[in-house]
Amino acid sequence: MAFVKQFKNSLIAVLGIFALVFLLLLVGVIPYDEFIFGKFFVGASFLIIGQTVFLVTIDKSIIKIGRSVGSSLMKFKKPWIIIFFGFLFGLVSTVAEPDVQVLISELLDVNPFISSLLLISIFGIGAGLFVGLALIRILKNIKLKYILLVLYSIIFILAAFCPENYLGLAFDSGGVSTGAITVPFILSLVIGICAIKSGSTKDDNFGAAGIVSTGPIIAVLILGIIFGAPEGTYSYVPLNIPFFDMFFNQIKEVALALSPLILTFIVSQLTFLKLPAKQTIKILIGLLIAGIGLVFFLTGIYYGFSTMGTFIGEAITNTVADWFILVFGFLIGFVIIFTEPAVIVLVGQIEDVTAGFIKKKTVFIALAIGVALAVMLSFVHILYSISWWYFLFPFYALCIALNFVIPKIFMSIAFDGGGIASGTMSVAFILPICIGISEALGQEIMLSAFGVIGFVATIPIFTLQVLGLIYKLSKMKKERKLKKEKLLEEKLLKEQEQIQGQDLEQQQGKDLEQKQSKDLEQEQEQKQSKGLEQEQEQKLKKEKDKAKNKETQKEQEKPKTKQLEEQNEKELKEEKKQKDIKENKDAKQKARKEGTNETS
């Protein structure tokens, strides 16, 4: 799934370049050459396959080594050990860098005044020393803006004493030293160290590539001061090597380039890494597959794109107006950034480390605009023979000044992104176009064409810094808006509190009145209640007195009643006595009568 996705991205990016080339063909700017276009097709096919294989396997090989080494180095308490291994890995990764191989090949085609071994050694030592400097910055918490200020001050002081023939090559060497192998390795090495080091912030994860790119610049400028200006001028004579010879040559070059990195990894594994055997085998297999991808990638560039670049440069100079060349430069610069492997790795790591705060799309667009402007201005430099001094010095001075204004994270990303934007495709396609234009105009190629890679590394720094400045201004605007809203909210709250205070006073007044009225009512009620109680008490008292009087009367009437009762009882007894007498009398009379009757 990852392979298909990456293949699709690589195909789309290369199709953009194809579209521009065939547009030039359709409008008659360049003639159709069957041999050159055939090589271009084959080269593009190999480039797509090689880039896809390399980017798919890089996470499990080079990046894995870098992070493992970075986190393991922090176990050593002595900083010099960390710095030494940083130098060593910086050296071997730069020697293995395909961009360095491509630039030296293009240089030797133009002017073989120095050996390729010496140039590679200079690039490697310069990069290795400044990897150590980048690690010192992290370990000692030195601010990146001050380091860059000092380094670029040294660069332009040395440039003032160096022959101008070396100026373009020096800045080109800085651009190519941070490419498809160096960047993933150095970034992952730094991220691994920052993950273990206490007090590290996400800002520390970036900026190392920006520092490393200055090492080869300083090294080449010192070389130029020592050797002096080369004698005579040379024409561009590209070697027409058959495809299979070139393919097998790239196998040999990639094997030689990767050998120091693999050997250093094995030594580190045996001494301090101590990764599990299964994981080590996976990393070595990943390195082997990444190497195969690099072979395909470099073969495609050398065989197809370099030849087409020189062909286009010579053709457009002889057939179209200057404004068309400048527009073409802008378009090819915008498209080519999407084919750079190191840029794809960088923007992915930026999004990962910033937890999605800085999006891939944003960084890609900023870099694309920067490279587009850089290529267009490089064509201005060649067409109108303007010295690189008038381009490089003002832009770098502006970039260093902006470091003191923009947020730290954007400063670090800008200098990393600038060095990485000038990658393999810039060296293998844009540089040959510039060589073709210079050759067509009869200019000295060392002075006019070389330097474009260094300048391509400059403008993206500026555009990313502008992005950071826009972000800062928008953030400040948002903060001001929030502050204004907060002040307005506080004002409204204060007014509401005042209104509520007035309402509260009025309410308290009303409550007081109500309380007083209620107290008065309660007092009246109490009085009324007291009066009623007194009335009831009086009533009860009267009733008690009345009852008492009744009892007194009863007591007084009791003897009379008794007398009356006795009299009545006496009368009743008398009546009963009389009645009994009468009944006795009647009974006697009745008995006499009955006796008389019986006698008769």
534-556 per-position pLDDT tens digit: 777 777 777 777 777 777 776 66
Please determine, for residue 512, whether its predicted confidence score (pLDDT) is greater than 80: no
Identify whether the C-beta of residue 148 lies closer than 8 Å to the C-beta of residue 211.
yes
Q: What is the pLDDT of residues 187-232, one digit of tens each?
A: 777 777 777 666 666 666 778 888 888 988 998 899 889 887 766 5
Q: What is the pLDDT of residue 149?
A: 93
Other CB atoms within a 10 A radius of the CB of residue 165 amount to 20
> Which of 149-163, 225-239, 312-326, 569-583 has the least mean pLDDT?
225-239
Identify whether the C-beta of residue 93 lies closer than 8 Å to the C-beta of residue 63.
no
* Half-sphere exposure (Cβ direction) of 233: Cα atoms closer than 13 Å: 11
Q: What is the mean pLDDT of residues 295-312?
A: 87
Higher pLDDT: 588 or 112? It is 588
* pLDDT winner (highest mean) among 235-239, 307-311, 471-475: 307-311
Please determine, for residue 237, whether its predicted confidence score (pLDDT) is greater than 60: no
Higher pLDDT: 445 or 559? It is 445
Please determine, for residue 238, whether its predicted confidence score (pLDDT) is greater than 60: no
pLDDT tier at 166 (50, 70, 90 boundaries)? confident
Identify whether the C-beta of residue 164 lies closer than 8 Å to the C-beta of residue 231.
no
DSSP 28: T
Higher pLDDT: 477 or 292? It is 292
Residue type (1 letter), 242: P
Q: What is the mean pLDDT of residues 354-377?
A: 81
Please determine, for residue 82, whether its predicted confidence score (pLDDT) is greater than 70: yes
Please determine, for residue 4, whether its predicted confidence score (pLDDT) is greater than 80: yes
CA distance 456 to 377: 9
Other CB atoms within a 10 A radius of the CB of residue 386 amount to 13
Q: What is the mean pLDDT of residues 335-362?
A: 70
Please determine, for residue 168, whether its predicted confidence score (pLDDT) is greater than 80: yes
CA distance 326 to 431: 15
Please determine, for residue 242, whether its predicted confidence score (pLDDT) is greater than 80: yes
Percentage of the chain with pLDDT > 90?
11
Q: What is the pLDDT of residue 323?
A: 92
pLDDT tier at 159 (50, 70, 90 boundaries)? very high
Please determine, for residue 83, whether its predicted confidence score (pLDDT) is greater than 90: no
> Which of 70-79, 428-437, 575-584 has the least mean pLDDT?
70-79
Q: What is the pLDDT of residue 202?
A: 62
Q: What is the pLDDT of residue 353?
A: 59
Q: What is the mean pLDDT of residues 446-473?
A: 84
Higher pLDDT: 135 or 527? It is 135
Backbone φ and ψ for 241, nearest 5 degrees, come out as -90, 135
Please determine, for residue 355, whether its predicted confidence score (pLDDT) is greater than 70: no
Q: What is the pLDDT of residue 231?
A: 63
Q: What is the pLDDT of residue 471?
A: 79
* Half-sphere exposure (Cβ direction) of 480: Cα atoms closer than 13 Å: 6
pLDDT tier at 408 (50, 70, 90 boundaries)? confident
> What's CA 311's distance to the chain center, in Å?
42
> What's CA 357's distance to the chain center, in Å?
3
> Which of 326-330, 336-340, 347-351, 406-410 has the least mean pLDDT?
347-351
Percentage of the chain with pLDDT > 70?
88
pLDDT tier at 381 (50, 70, 90 boundaries)? very high
Which sign, positive or negative, has the C-alpha torsion 116, 119, 125, 131?
Answer: negative
Residue ranges per domain, the chain?
Answer: 2-457
Q: What is the mean pLDDT of residues 495-501?
A: 77
CA distance 28 to 316: 10
pLDDT tier at 6 (50, 70, 90 boundaries)? confident
pLDDT tier at 239 (50, 70, 90 boundaries)? low
> What's CA 418's distance to the chain center, in Å?
18
* pLDDT winner (highest mean) among 347-356, 413-422, 447-456: 447-456
Residue type (1 letter), 454: G
Q: What is the mean pLDDT of residues 56-77?
A: 75
pLDDT, averaged across the chain: 81
CA distance 195 to 346: 18
Please determine, for residue 376, whether its predicted confidence score (pLDDT) is greater than 90: yes
CA distance 384 to 372: 18
Q: What is the pLDDT of residue 201?
A: 64
Q: What is the pLDDT of residues 22-65, one digit of tens each?
A: 888 898 888 988 899 999 999 989 988 988 888 788 777 877 78
H runs (alpha helix) in 96-207: 98-110, 116-140, 144-161, 164-176, 182-196
Q: What is the pLDDT of residues 249-278, one digit of tens each?
A: 889 888 877 888 788 888 888 888 888 888
Q: What is the mean pLDDT of residues 560-585?
A: 76
> Which of 13-22, 393-402, 515-524 has the least mean pLDDT?
515-524
Q: What is the pLDDT of residue 335?
A: 84
Identify whether the C-beta of residue 219 lies closer than 8 Å to the C-beta of residue 276.
no
Q: What is the mean pLDDT of residues 421-430?
A: 75
Longest dimension (CA), the chain: 212
Q: What is the pLDDT of residue 78?
A: 75
> Which of 13-27, 68-82, 227-241, 401-415 has the least mean pLDDT?
227-241
